[in-house]
Amino acid sequence: MAAVRATSSLTLQDAETLRDLTTYISRARRVDPDGACRMVAGGGVLAVYVSPVHGAPGPTVLGLRAVGLADGAAELDATVPLAALGDRLAAASQDAVELPVPPMRTTDASWAGVSPPRTGWELRTALDPADLVSASQAGIEEIAAAVPEAVGGHVVAQVRAVVWGRELPTLHGVAAGAAYAADSLGFLDPEQPVAVRQAGPWWRLSTTRGHVLVRTALL
């Protein structure tokens, strides 16, 4: 996906924001080592999308962190390898405010071409974060038990699609992959209920730490 205009870096509001994004990208890279990150900047805000769960026939689950930019005029829409972005962030100093944008682009991340709605979200309910952690851990254990270490990648993908494509026990119509994304990306706070909103076929699970967006293909 091409950038709106060429840029080698974006200036964030402070160094703490950069450190926070570094942690976020590190977690995303841990669950999707060969994955991608979509960076969308405009109006003084940077939206950073990742996808811990994706690929047919399972659900598409996105993680989103939105942060403020020091330059309100900056524009960017680029999908880059998580590994490239993570390496650049790891090399940045603790006091840096510049978010490096890798020059290489990823063209095979089909999920990055799907944009969730920005408006029209209606509050549906709130979830106990402990229930999402439990659903995430149960799925991880089921996948580990069902998939021998020597099995091929296609089989692993099929098992993950089945496990993460199941409906959450506590939320009708939403795939369990949403719980996995929220848990693995560090969005869950045991003291903070998870707000659940819906806009058409999309669901959004939100905390102050970030958002999970899912358009479900339930299996």
pTM as predicted: 0.92
Give the pLDDT mean for 125-147.
95
Q: Answer yes or no: is 153 within a domain.
A: yes
Sorted by sequence, the CB contacts under 8 Å of residue 122 that are 6+ apart come out as: 197, 198, 199
Which of the two residues, 22 and 218, has the higher pLDDT score? Answer: 22
Domain hosting 146: range is 122-215
d(CA 144, CA 160): 10
Same domain for 100 and 127? no
Domains held by the chain: number: 2
| Coil, strand or helix at 22 | helix
Confidence of residue 216 (pLDDT cuts 50, 70, 90): low
d(CA 134, CA 121): 26
Q: Answer yes or no: is 147 within a domain.
A: yes
> In the predicted model, is pLDDT for residue 5 greater than 90?
no
Same domain for 108 and 13? yes
Q: Write down which residue in 57, 84, 113 finishes a domain.
A: 113
Give the pLDDT mean for 152-165.
85
Confidence of residue 6 (pLDDT cuts 50, 70, 90): low
Which structure tokens are listed for 50?
Answer: 């990742």
Q: Answer yes or no: is 4 within a domain.
A: no
| Coil, strand or helix at 134 | helix
What's the per-residue H, E or C state across 168-206?
A: ECCEEEEECHHHHHHHHCCCCCCCCCEEEEEECCEEEEE
pLDDT at position 198 is: 95
Q: Answer yes or no: is 3 within a domain.
A: no
Does residue 44 contact residue 72 with C-beta atoms inside 8 Å?
A: yes
What pLDDT, in 10s, does the model give residues 193-213? 999 999 999 999 999 999 999
What value does the CA radius of gyration of the chain take, rounded to a whole number of Å? 17
Q: Write down which residue in 86, 113, 140 finishes a domain.
A: 113
| Coil, strand or helix at 4 | coil
Sorted by sequence, the CB contacts under 8 Å of residue 178 that are 6+ apart come out as: 59, 61, 132, 168, 203, 205, 212, 214
What pLDDT, in 10s, does the model give residues 77-126? 999 999 999 999 999 988 999 999 999 999 889 999 988 998 999 999 99
Give the pLDDT mean for 61-73.
94
Confidence of residue 72 (pLDDT cuts 50, 70, 90): confident
| Coil, strand or helix at 6 | coil
* CATH code for the domain in which residue 92 is found: 3.10.150.10
Confidence of residue 1 (pLDDT cuts 50, 70, 90): very low
Average predicted confidence (pLDDT) for the chain:
91
Same domain for 22 and 73? yes
Same domain for 98 and 184? no
Same domain for 97 and 150? no
Same domain for 89 and 172? no
> In the predicted model, is pLDDT for residue 58 greater than 90?
no
Confidence of residue 150 (pLDDT cuts 50, 70, 90): low
What pLDDT, in 10s, does the model give residues 10-55? 999 999 999 999 999 999 999 999 999 999 999 999 999 999 999 8
Q: Write down which residue in 113, 144, 162 finishes a domain.
A: 113
Same domain for 104 and 129? no
Give the 3-state secondary structure percentages of the chain, helix then strand then coil, rounded to 5: 30, 30, 35
Same domain for 72 and 164? no
